[in-house]
Each structure stands twice: as structure tokens, then as C-alpha cells.
Structure 1
């Protein structure tokens, strides 16, 4: 837009003012009569004719040069408009990249929270398993004590039924006293009945002891199997939790590294954009200065051509910068898509 205004303003001075009008040429035409008030009228006519011939030559030069300058300035205006559109698209893409980075940071924070929750669950599972193991050990100790007490009671009862010494004493006393046969038979019957009772009690106690031993052995065996199962389950859960924690920690580190790299690239791109914007502002200032200089000095055509070449070179450099920024944006978009896929996999695993 600045170059188009520059073109329009450069074309406006084509109309040559009359000799009586005010302007930069009036000084040249009026200077002659002020200094030559005493000169002849023929000299004044010659000066006027020379001034009109100069004006006609300037009109011809400007009229011949105006179409080419209009075309070049229109081309520059089109290039600047395209460059501004590309910069606007770049800014939109950079905003999209910032949104995606914020989303990734939020997902990373969620992964950290999930990791802390899994660690808390693992610790709770460990404490529960330790509690169950402690209770089973206490039960085994109590059952072993109860079995020992039963064996001691059985041994005591069997010792109390063993009364051989008392029977020997009774027989010896009977021989000394010379009891009758009826008394002997009664004593034998009593002893036989007591012996039968003792044998019966012994059989019952032995049977109960065998039942208690079988039951205690089955309990001990079941407790041992449960204990082994719990230990295996505990080890498997701990191994699984450790593997999961390691994998999630690695994924978290990778995501953090990629987010940091994206932030660095984003900062570098922002610096590049700032530099490009400053250069564009400098271009616009240079174009305005060029317009001012063109209004004041119309004889420096060679300098104008040099400035136009510089503008073209700067615009080409900005196009190359824009292409590089487009390639960087594409690579960042691919990296962001990969990070989103990995985060989705982590969410599925959790």
C-alpha cells in the first residue's frame, strides 16, 4: 500500500505549473526578472522560452518513465500484500501450536497425577498383603500351640490310666490276707472292667488325636498354600507396578523433553517473526522516506533503481524465511500428532 501511494504521489508532479504559479520551479523563473530588471526585453523573452522548453522536456521524461514505474510499483504492492497474508497465516498457525502445547502440558500433568495415584495404590496393596501375612502367621502359631497342648493332655491322661503299681500292691495284700475265691473273682472282674474302660478311653483318645492331627495338618497345608499364593501374587503385583512406573516415568521424561524442545522452537520462531516484523517496519519506513525523497528530488533515478533492487532482495529473503517457517511448522505438527498418539496409548494402558 505504501509503494502504491508512492507511485501515485510520484505521478502527480507530471503536470507542469504555469510560470505565474508557486512551486520549486518558480524560483528559477522569477529569479531572472529580479536580477535583470535593468536588462532588455529580448533577454526576458529568451529566459521565458528556455524555461518553457525545460518544462516540456521534463513532461516528456516523466511521461515516458511513468508506465514502467507504475508496473514495478504495482508488482511490489502485490508482493507486499502476499507477504502480509502469509504472515497472518503464520500467526494463526503459531497460535494453534501454542494451544496444542498447552493441551500437551495438561495431559502431562494428568499423567503425573495418575502416576502418583498408582504409587499410592501399590503402597496400599503392600500394606494389606503384609497384614494378611501377619494374621496367617499368628494363626499358624496358635494352631501349633493348641496341638502341643492336646498332645500333652493325651499323654497325661494315658499316664493316669496306667495303675500297674496299684494293682501289684492290691494283689500282694490279697495274698497276705488269704482272701476267699469269691473275693478274688470280684477283684478280677473289677480289674477287667476297669481295664476295658481304660482301653476304650485310650482308643477314643487316640482316634481324637488322629483326627486333630489330620485337621491341623490340613489347616497348616492350606495356610502354607495361601501364604505361597499371596507371596507370589505380591511379587507379581510389585513387579507389574514397578514396570508400569518405569514405563510411565520414561514416557513422562520423553514428553517433557519434547515439550521443552517445542517451547525452544516456539521461542526461536517468535524471535524470527519479531525480526521479520521489524524488517517489514523498516521497509515501510524506507518506502515512506523514499516517497519523501522522491517528492523533493526527482533527478536521482539511479538511486531509485538501487532502492528498488534492495527492496526486491529483501522481499526474496522474507519469502525464503516464510518457506523455512512453513517447513518448521509442518515438522512441529507431526511431532505434536505423535505426542497425542502416545498420550492416548498411555491413557488406554491406565
Structure 2
């Protein structure tokens, strides 16, 4: 087994003070480490991104929107229950993490409080019933019931909280800062954080330089953050996540490549969306990327053969994470670990609210 396949090869020590607790203001004032896969790296600022791209390049971004996925309810006994929604399996049918899990048995009902500002002329309620335990995540499969078809999403918006990652524990700002400025389609339980650096002004600067933008949707869920536990990383199974690669994006990618431009993925979720769709097409005997809507469980690590992207923008990721392995597949594990060492020495800010990296193959 090569070192690239060993979980321990993706470990590093990060001083706790480098874990960013709040985003910088403005968003595009974060730092940017610009990396050429073969030779060099340059320290820059994110607002200078247009300087490092070329007219005719294409940025592909993830337009998912983080939902207010953390809810607080109670059992019929009055005992409090905390729920973190993970994935919508069907309308009103969700996979969720539940605390305290051991006390929320199959068949239990969880009731949620009323909220202000709604029409009270008819009886109103929102509750969930535990249908089964999910063996993969340890979560619960919940069937929600409501007194009107749209009440569920109203309740999520009014009662829920946007869930921040556990390593962000000193944030007191507006949770909208944990949304990209182009977020559109609700469904994620975590933000595609490479996109948090963009401002409307930066997007316009890119357009002015004839750097086009296209979108995919991957609702970030448990698969992105599930820890890799096997020392042989090739034995890790990614949890499937829902992806949509629309026809317009496929056409823009094809035209970009035809014209000699580069396809730059903004974040690991976009990488998984595009490469996942391409891999599924290959299994179906098709050549090239096509429109796709479904699930992908593609796990990318060193040795992967790239099908679509020519580079990516990414944040700095947790040790031993599948995200770190994905980026290693693009730039090389040893090179990436050296880059992380340099970033730590230069006091870059890490993780969701941290600084960024641009990698061009």
C-alpha cells in the first residue's frame, strides 16, 4: 500500500487560533494562495482572482442554499429533543440526527412550538414521527406531519437555526454570512465554503474580464463531512449526495473547452458534481459530460483520472478528511501537505470562514 492510500498520511497539526471563527469583511478580502500544480505558488488576495484567470475561462459554482436545519422540539413527555436535518428523502420525509438519540425510540413523536405571524383561524401543528434508525449515520428517519402543505418550510425558516460547523464556537454575527451571495436552491445543511469569498462586485469583475460563470447544485450533507476511519482510504464509502448538473452548464463547459478555455470548479462540491456526473455517464457507456440529476457517492483521492475540471478554488480542510484527499488528487499529496505547512507558517485562516486556495492544473 502506498503512502497516498494511508489515512495517517493526511494528518497535520493546526494551531487552534488559526481556525477562523468569523468571516472577513468584505468577503473578498480573504487571502488567496495561488498554486501552479507543477512549479510555484504565490500569496495573493481573493479580490485579485480575475488577475489569475484568463478571458474564456469558466467558473462553475454551487448554488445550493443552507437551510435552517437545526430544530428544537419536545416529546409527548415534555422532554426536549434537538434535531439536525441531514437529507430530504421525499417530501416531509427526512434523515436527521437526533439528541438525545438513545431516548428517542422508533415510534416516538416530536412536537414543535408554534411561531408568530401566521393565520390562526385553523388548527396548526408540526410534528415528526420516528420511523426507523439509519444504520449508516446513526440518525433517524423522520416523517413530518403538518396542518398545511407549506407549513413545514415556514416552520423551518421561523423555528430552525442555520447549523454552523462544530469548530466554529465563537461566532456571534448574522448567520446569512454562512450563505454564498449566489445561493438559490434550499437543501444543504452546510455551505459550499469556497464560494463564501465571492461578492457581487467580484462576480461582476470576473464577467467584465469575460470569465463566465455557470452553476450546479449539490446539497451538502453528511457525505461531505463523514470522517474517513479506515487506515486504507480506498476502503472508505462516501455517503451519496444529491446533484444537479443542468444542460446549460454542460453546454457552457463544452464550449469553453472547444475554445481552449479552462473549467475551474469553485469548491469540492462542484468537483464532485461534475466528476460524479461524468463517471456515471462512463458507466452508462456515454462519452463526456451530460446533464445529470441524481445522487453521487464519488470518492476522489490520489490516482483519480480527471474528466472535466482544469483547476479549482478551495478552502483549507480538516486533517484526514475526504476533502483533503480530493485536493491531493489534483495537486499531489506531498505537494499539498507542503502547501498547508507554508499556509500555517504564513498564518492563513483555516476551514469554513478561512482563506482560499486557487489550483490550476
Q: State whether TM-score is above 0.5.
A: no
Q: TM-score, normalised by structure 2?
A: 0.16
Q: Answer 1 or 2: which has greater strand percent.
A: 2
Kindly indicate which of the two structures has a greater share of residues assigned to helix. 1
